[in-house]
Amino acid sequence: MTDEIPATYAGPQRVLSGVQPSGDLHLGNYLGALVKFARLQHEVPTFIFVADLHAITAWQEPAKLKGQVREIAAAYLATGLDPKVATIFPQSAVPEHTELAWVFNCVARLGWLDRMTQFKDKAGKHKERASVGLYTYPVLQAADILVYKATQVPVGDDQKQHLELTRDIAGKFNHDFAAPGFFPLPEPLTQGPGARIMSLRDGAAKMSKSDPSDNSRINLTDDAETIAQKVRKARTDADPLPELIADLAGRAEALNLIGIYAALEGRTAQDVLTEYAGQGFGAFKPRLADLAVSVMGPIGAEMRRLMADPAEIDRILGDGAERARAVAAPTVAEVRKLVGLWAG
Ligand code: TYM
């Protein structure tokens, strides 16, 4: 065992998360992830990146990718991340992510990756045509997290399995290289009603960038009228709202709208239900529309303002990348030593 490494992780707490620049951001991304970034930055050193290397596991138009990266950065800033407080950067600007990912490719087992449901969903019926990168995607995600020795990872529910894999990789690395406390076993932060926002058209499907129906989601860049219209058109049922969450069983669309309302106001779903019990969607939807417009409208406007000055966004991302590398590089140097790679 290396002398300096304690038996359990004893390093600083760090928050890390990222979003892929592969399409418009929506309410699910906001409530499942972004809203938590802004809150956590004041509690724990926070690293938030734009996952451009993950985005290219599916085809991205090269001429558009940089613009997509800037748009995610603008969304981070518009939802309250402060570049003086949090470290905001593009993933591909910190090559230590990919270097650690290769080592982790040699730690993770094929059987572990074969279980990843997101690969199965994304690859679809013709998995032989999916990129190899899409398959090893969760290994790069583990490297994103562990290169900063992050301890907390704010994400939506759909990322829980990737976090379990990250913990498995961290545990196996620590064990195989006789360095028990080297990597922490990071925790996903998925608490709250925003962890799994469903489609506005189908309460059984996740709200998603790739849903062909734009009415299924509220985009961060939608204007007030579009937001209100999408809420009005959201699928619901004819029954009044009950007093207890348990009584919403089997009413997925109703439960989703209550959850959205609660997450937008930072309340519990039960609390919202108590307020609206006995009322129908004719009364509830206009209130939800007003709330969504009042929260989302200013975010879209601020994103448009920030996007008008790409040089300033690039400056913020360049500065963040430098700060990120200062933390990531020592981790990779230690990994090189532990693994026995050429360290110069
Ligand atoms: P991505 O870009 O698909 O989504 C970004 C974040 O949004 C959350 N999310 C949702 N939350 C609630 N309801 C929904 N309908 C919904 N849809 C998406 C996601 O859970 C995510 O938190 N693999 C990641 C990006 C990534 C990453 C990382 C995250 C790469 N490396 C390291 C954390 C740590 C992804 O594809 O997110």
Looking at the fold, whether 231 and 117 belong to one and the same domain comes out as: no
Q: Do 270 and 192 reside in the same domain of the chain? A: no
- Per-residue pLDDT band for 339 (boundaries 50, 70, 90) equals very high
Residue 185 shares a structural domain with residue 314:
yes
Q: Is residue 319, in this structure, part of any structural domain at all?
A: yes
Q: How far is the CA of 158 from the centre of ligand 1 (A)?
A: 7
Tell me: do 169 and 66 sit in the same domain: yes
Same domain, 166 and 75: yes
Q: Tell me which residue range forms the domain holding 59.
A: 2-196+310-339
Looking at ligand 1, which residue's alpha carbon is closest to its atom 4? 19
Work out the average pLDDT over 188-206.
Answer: 95
187-189 and 87-90 beta bridge pairing: unpaired
Ligand 1, pocket-test mutation among 46, 134, 153, 155, most atoms within 8 A of CB:
155
3-state secondary structure of 45: coil
CA-proximal residue: ligand 1, atom 26 (nearest): 18
Smallest CA-to-CA distance from 142 within 182, 196, 93, 105 is with 105
Ligand 1 atom with minimal separation from the 195 CA: 12
Edge-to-edge strand order for the sheet containing 187-189?
Answer: 87-90, 46-50, 15-19, 152-154, 187-189
Residue 69 contacts residue 313 (beta carbons within 8 Å):
no
* One domain, residues 77 and 134: yes
Looking at ligand 1, which atom is closest to the CA of residue 20?
Answer: 2
Whether residue 160 is found in the same domain as residue 273 = no
Which are the catalytic amino acids?
Answer: 122, 206, 209
Residue nearest to atom 7 of ligand 1 (CA): 29
> What is the per-residue burial (b if ≥16 Cβ within 10 Å, else e) of 148-177?
bbbbbbbbbebbebbbbbbbbbbebbbeeb
Residue 299 and residue 327 in one domain:
no
Domain-embedded: residue 325: yes
Ligand 1 binding pocket (C-beta < 6 A) is 16-20, 28-29, 32-33, 51, 54, 141, 144-145, 153, 155-156, 158-159, 195-197, 206-207
Q: Is residue 116 part of a domain?
A: yes
In a domain, 17, yes or no: yes
Q: Are residues 78 and 150 in the same domain?
A: yes
- Is 45 in the same domain as 174? yes
Domain of residue 29, CATH code: 3.40.50.620
Q: What is the DSSP string of 197-226?
A: PBPSS-TTSB--TT-S-GGGS-BTT--HHH
Residue 205 Cα to ligand 1 middle (Å): 16
Report which ligand 1 atom has the smallest distance to the Cα of 29.
7
- Give yes or no: residues 163 and 27 share one domain: yes
Read off the pLDDT band of 3 (50, 70, 90). Answer: low
- CB-count exposure of residue 325 (10 Å: 0-12, 13-18, 19+): middle
pLDDT of residue 160: 97
The tally of domains found in the chain comes to 2
State whether the Cα torsion 247-249-252-257 is positive or negative.
positive
Q: What value does the mean pLDDT of the chain take?
A: 96
The dihedral region occupied by 124, where left means phi > 0, alpha psi between -120 and 50, and beta the remainder, is left
Q: Are residues 150 and 234 in the same domain?
A: no
Q: What is the pLDDT of residues 7-39, one digit of tens each?
A: 899 999 999 999 999 988 999 999 999 999 999
28: its two tokens: 């699910």
Give the Å distance between the CA of 166 and the centre of ligand 1.
Answer: 15
Site to probe by mutation for ligand 1, drawn from 31, 159, 190 as the one with most ligand atoms within 8 Å of Cβ, is: 159
Residues whose CB falls within 8 Å of the CB of residue 334, separated by 6 or more in sequence, listed in order: 182
For residues 259 and 253, what is the distance between their CA atoms, to the nearest angstrom? 10
In ligand 1, which atom is closest to the CA atom of 159? 20
The separation between the first and the last C-alpha atoms of the chain, rounded to the nearest angstrom, is: 22
pLDDT at 1: 46
Q: Is residue 164 part of a domain?
A: yes
Dist. CA 33 → ligand 1 center (Å): 7
CATH number, position 237: 1.10.240.10
pLDDT tens digit sequence for 121-177: 999 988 999 999 999 999 999 999 999 999 999 999 999 999 999 999 999 999 999
**Mean pLDDT calculated for residue range 298-312:** 97
> For ligand 1, what atom is nearest to the CA of residue 16?
34
In a domain, 202, yes or no: no
